[in-house]
Chains A and B, each alone.
Chain A
Amino acid sequence: LAKTTQPISMDSYEGQEVNITCSHNNIATNDYITWYQQFPSQGPRFIIQGYKTKVTNEVASLFIPADRKSSTLSLPRVSLSDTAVYYCLVGDIRGNNAGNMLTFGGGTRLMVKP
């Protein structure tokens, strides 16, 4: 079971790039890294998923070093509407113990200021 550690909270300003790092020292060979975003009073929303190196989509980038013991979610030029909680999940959802992976934890509360 890959336990994850991420900062409890972060502050940023509009227009800045925000990097949120998640540590997962016990990541297993078949584990993937997935990030979700949650706004108040809404369900989590998938942001990005990766296995190794770098993944980029229209919303964010995910950087994963060669040892895969950590990962960094990068949000370019944040706006006030990016204020939310960001969760890092690590595991293999395809197995019969997917519940072990689906541990959201406390997440990182990002506050974007004007």
Chain B
Amino acid sequence: GAGVSQSPRYKVTKRGQDVALRCDPISGHVSLYWYRQALGQGPEFLTYFNYEAQQDKSGLPNDRFSAERPEGSISTLTIQRTEQRDSAMYRCASSLAGEEAYEQYFGPGTRLTVT
């Protein structure tokens, strides 16, 4: 079946612009996670949802970052007033609930470049 999809796959934006990154999870997956990954480093947790509820947003770097999942399916990560330090690979993952939440399925990522 279809896996996690993310769009766009690549995004180049100028400093100060807002960007919206989309994640379409596997159908039926309750939980959705956002990560950021710099080159040569492991993924860094940003936030996650169970259904439409944002359970933990402790990893969001500052208030320029926000995420929503209004209908408990597709999620959008928004970065306002982008800065060059926001350049990274942004990854989304989804999973079932409970103990099966440990098995996350990752999407291909969105490569964000802020110039």
Contact = CB atoms under 8 A, between A and B. Distances in A.
Interface of B: 33, 35, 41-45, 47-48, 55-56, 58-59, 91, 93, 98-99, 101-109
A94 B101 contact: yes
Interface in A72-114: 85, 87, 93-94, 96-100, 102-107
Contact of B44 (A43, A97, A100, A104): A104
Nearest to A106: B42
A13 interface: no
A17 B69 CA distance: 43
Contacts, number: 63
B9 to A, nearest CB: 11
B33 A34 contact: no
Q: What is the size category of the interface that chain A forms with chain B? A: 20 to 34
Given A43-B107, A106-B41, A106-B42, A99 B102 contact: no
Given A85-B42, A102-B33, A43 B91 contact: yes
A45 interface: yes
A49 B47 CA distance: 22
